[in-house]
Chain A
Amino acid sequence: QVQLQESGPGLVKPSETLSLTCSVSGGSMYSYYWNWIRQPPGKGLEWIGYVHSSGSTNHNPTLNSRVTMSLDTSKRQFSLNLSSVTAADTAVYFCARGDWFDYWGQGIPVTVSS
């Protein structure tokens, strides 16, 4: 059974970098897209980006160059860094697997506030 679990700080100060990790148990780490998705309070889902097992990455163009993602198959983890955060980045952050997202983490709420 595949399980994903997000971890990281729940509070980040404005202008700092939000860093999250998703730990994967079960299944293969290879030949998949590993995605980050967020959901601001009371709003819909927003795709942040993916890191593929090949090492390639891509992200939502609306986030410009603030997004960095990486994958460590030996640790069975992938990570998200979102720089220069503002209050608009306050959201529940999810990690998810695949082209269609068949497995999701439970989500981690992150608040941007001083």
Chain B
Amino acid sequence: SYELTQSLSVSVAQGQTARITCGGNNIGTKNVHWYQQKPGQAPVLVIYRNYHRPSGIPERFSGSNSGNTATLTISEAQAGDEANYYCQVWDSSTVVFGGGAKLTVL
């Protein structure tokens, strides 16, 4: 079965750029979607189809996908960006989530 690998935690200084990666075999051939989840809340879609932003998501959030790594980039990180971030793909008509990465804004 297909697996997605995310770093458990990522730290960034406030105002700097955070990069959260999602590794998978030839993930660049798949569409990757990203979710932000804050404690006690449902996840929120922040990037779909690799780099598209849903309405209401700040331009500070961007995505890329190539080779074996997809990346969610958060520019000018704010305290409110502290959350768990999950990547997601479809493989063989099933959904696969990454294990999630906790973003800490220092």
Residues in chain A within 8 A of chain B (CB atoms): 35, 37, 44-47, 50, 58-61, 94, 99-102, 104-107
Contact = CB atoms under 8 A, between A and B. Distances in A.
9 contacts: A44-B86, A45-B100, A47-B94, A61-B94, A100-B33, A101-B45, A101-B88, A104-B42, A106-B42
| Most chain B CB neighbours (cut-off 10 Å) among A47, A59, A61 | A47
A100 B93 contact: no
Contacts of A100: 31, 33, 45, 48-49, 88
A44 B96 CA distance: 11
B98 to A, nearest CB: 8
B90 A99 contact: yes
A87 B78 CA distance: 38
Contact of A47 (B37, B42, B97, B100): B97
A113 B42 CA distance: 24
Contact of B97 (A44, A50, A106, A107): A44
A34 to B, nearest CB: 12
A51 to B, nearest CB: 13
Interface of B: 1, 31, 33, 35, 37, 42-45, 48-49, 54, 84, 86, 88, 90, 93-100
B48 to A, nearest CB: 4
Given A100-B48, A101-B33, A106-B42, A44 B100 contact: yes
| Top-6 shortest CB links A-B | A47-B95, A100-B48, A100-B33, A104-B42, A44-B100, A45-B97
A59 B92 CA distance: 11
Nearest to A6: B42
Nearest to B84: A44
| Most chain B CB neighbours (cut-off 10 Å) among A99, A100, A104, A107 | A100
A45 B42 contact: no
B42 A102 contact: no
B96 A47 contact: yes
